[in-house]
């Protein structure tokens, strides 16, 4: 696996607990050049030092619910880079008022917002970046088992992740002709800003320690290593797939 000199656009670093941070760090260790975007000014204070630590030259503030932000980011990037080898989409959002509601109580606004930011943003970024994506380029996003089975408290995000996983398959198909691969990692629960908004994570983690084949919770590094595999040429024949990095808990019936 030689990733030296490859160029990666990383979306979704909020702080050092972010899954995207772990992936960015692992890519940096492989000699990959990084561009990073963060959601808004409120995060600048946390993300700027991270960008410095990772030697990032291209740092963008980009609200992925805004087409103009995405267009601007890609057009500025295109002035510096002739191609993007890897895109890491590690982004999700649902209004807090709609999280943890009984599923039949979620609002239209909450549902559409979750779909827009957690799902459509992937499609929008791939569409804008299309000209910079080359045969061999690879795109990954982050999903969770709540896409496939009911996880209490995950409601609105479960529907969004199901749509995200379907979008991965359709993107893999539409980008496949060009030789661009698109996959998702379905990660087990780890403590981040996003997972803190979802109730019951500590309880899930206790259950995983007891019942998962590997009898432990996963760490940022477990996800980052699988990200390296999916982004790199080691996964040259893999696309449209959902790879579980969850200590095996998803194979268990109870």
Ligand X SMILES: NC(=O)c1ccc[n+]([C@@H]2O[C@H](COP(=O)([O-])OP(=O)(O)OC[C@H]3O[C@@H](n4cnc5c(N)ncnc54)[C@H](O)[C@@H]3O)[C@@H](O)[C@H]2O)c1
Regarding 195 and contact with ligand X (CB under 6 A), the answer is: yes
Q: Which residues of 46-85 are buried (b: 16+ CB within 10 A; e: fewer)?
A: bbeebbeebebebbbebebbeeebbeebbeebeeebeebb
Q: Determine which residue in the list 25, 86, 90, 133 makes contact with ligand X, applying CB under 6 A.
A: 90
Cβ proximity of 187 and 245 under 8 Å? yes
Smallest distance, Å, CB 206 to ligand X? 14
92 binds ligand X (CB under 6 A): yes
- Least distance to ligand X, CB of residue 238, Å: 19
The residues, ordered by sequence, that sit 6+ positions from 244 with a Cβ below 8 Å of its Cβ are: 145, 185, 186, 188, 250
> 145 an active-site residue?
no
Q: How far is the CB of 177 from ligand X (least distance, A)?
A: 27
**Cα 158 to chain center, whole Å?**
15
Asked if 3 is part of the footprint of ligand X (rule: CB under 6 A), the reply reads no
> For residues 182-206, b (16+ Cβ closer than 10 Å) or e, as one string?
bbbbbbbbbebebbebbeebeebbe
Gap between the Cα atoms of 139 and 235, Å rounded: 12
- Which is the catalytic residue, given 93, 120, 144, 145? 144
Instruction: Tell me the site size for ligand X, rule CB under 6 A.
Output: 27
Residue from 8, 14, 126, 129 touching ligand X (CB under 6 A): that is 14
Question: Which of 7, 126, 18 has its CA nearest to residue 64?
Answer: 126
Residue from 3, 9, 10, 18 in contact with ligand X (CB under 6 A): 18
Residue nearer to ligand X on the CB measure, 178 or 216: 216
Measuring CA to CA, which residue among 168, 166, 142, 43 is closest to residue 90? 142
Q: Is 77 in the site for ligand X (CB under 6 A)?
A: no
Tell me which of 65, 100, 153, 174 binds ligand X, using CB under 6 A.
65
Active site residue 144: yes
Q: Does 155 help bind ligand X (rule: CB under 6 A)?
A: no
61 binds ligand X (CB under 6 A): no
Active site residues: 144, 154
Residue ranges in contact with ligand X by CB under 6 A: 12-14, 17-20, 39, 43, 63-65, 90-93, 117, 142-144, 187, 189-190, 192-195
């Amino acid at each position: 696996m030689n990733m030296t000199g490859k160029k990666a656009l990383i979306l979704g670093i909020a702080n050092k607990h972010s899954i995207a941070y772990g992936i960015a760090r692992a890519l940096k260790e492989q000699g990959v050049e990084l561009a990073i975007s963060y959601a808004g000014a409120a995060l600048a204070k946390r993300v700027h030092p991270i960008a410095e630590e990772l030697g990032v030259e291209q740092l963008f503030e980009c609200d992925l619910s805004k087409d103009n932000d995405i267009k601007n980011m890609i057009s500025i990037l295109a002035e510096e880079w002739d191609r993007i080898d890897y895109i890491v989409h590690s982004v999700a959002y649902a209004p807090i008022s709609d999280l943890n509601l009984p599923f039949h109580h979620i609002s239209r606004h909450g549902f559409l917002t979750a779909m827009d930011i957690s799902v459509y943003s992937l499609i929008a970024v791939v569409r804008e970046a299309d000209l910079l994506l080359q045969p061999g380029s690879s795109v990954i996003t982050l999903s969770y088992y709540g896409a496939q089975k009911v996880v209490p408290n995950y409601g609105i995000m479960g529907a969004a992740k199901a749509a995200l996983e379907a979008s991965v398959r359709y993107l893999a198909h539409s980008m496949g002709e060009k030789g661009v691969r698109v996959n998702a990692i379905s990660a087990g629960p780890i403590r981040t800003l996003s997972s803190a908004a979802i109730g019951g994570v500590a309880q899930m983690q206790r259950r995983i320690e007891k019942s998962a084949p590997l009898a432990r919770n996963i760490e940022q590094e477990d996800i980052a290593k699988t990200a390296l595999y999916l982004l790199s040429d080691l996964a040259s024949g893999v696309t449209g797939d959902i790879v579980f990095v969850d200590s095996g808990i998803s194979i268990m019936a109870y």
